[in-house]
Amino acid sequence: MTTFMMEERQVAREAAGFWWLFLVTGILWILVSLIILRFDYTSVAAISYLFGFVAIFFGINEFMAIGGASTGWKIFHALFGVIFILVGVIALIHPYDTFETLAGLMSFFLIFLGIFNLVLAFATKSEHDFWRVTLIVGIVQLLLGFWAAGYFGREEFLLVIFVAAMCLMRGITEIIFAFKLHGLKKALDAS
């Protein structure tokens, strides 16, 4: 076994040791989605604050995902994390000015994320059995994105539903990733 392969196994073993962190964040994402749907967001400011906090949490979560990613994906996660944190801070600073923009951007974001998850599902089809879940999440995100792009009434309702759906989908994928890492850890420890 070459030194490179031994180092690669050690990095994978260390990354797989943090599987529980993704399980915890996945559960938290699902709880946040349930909490979001329980509250009555009647003011534009409340919805913008909600989106700002969720976007910042999403950005922080992207930075946490860097530890379990390869070099190319690390760059993507870092870039995505910075973008989400910036958008979240802007939403918190200017809640009234950014509300309409947020409602419009949510459709484009969901379409982009749906396409990304579809590509990811097919790219990792041979690597794991959970690719179908990523495929379904991508399809749901695409459908929500196209639905939002054509529905210009009741932006408040849509934005709350989209934020809750994003949190739920993120929670599901985080939990699946956690179990995938846990399986990798078991396999590496056994060898």
SS3 label, residue 69 = coil
Asked whether residue 47 carries a pLDDT value surpassing 70, the answer given is yes
Rounded average pLDDT over 77-88: 89
Burial class (CB in 10 A: 0-12, 13-18, 19+), 123: exposed
Task: Kindly give the interhelix angle for 71-93 and 95-123, rounded to the nearest 10 degrees.
Answer: 160
Please compute the mean of the pLDDT values over residues 170-181 and round it to a whole number.
Answer: 87
What pLDDT score does 29 carry?
Answer: 87
Question: What whole-number distance in Å separates Cα of residue 100 and Cα of residue 77?
Answer: 27
Stated pTM of the model: 0.60
Decide: 135 and 118 in contact? Cβ < 8 Å.
yes
Q: How much is the mean pLDDT over the chain?
A: 79
Higher pLDDT, 185 or 43: 185
Taking only the tens place, the pLDDT of each residue in 115-155 is 888 988 888 888 777 788 889 988 988 887 787 777 655 56
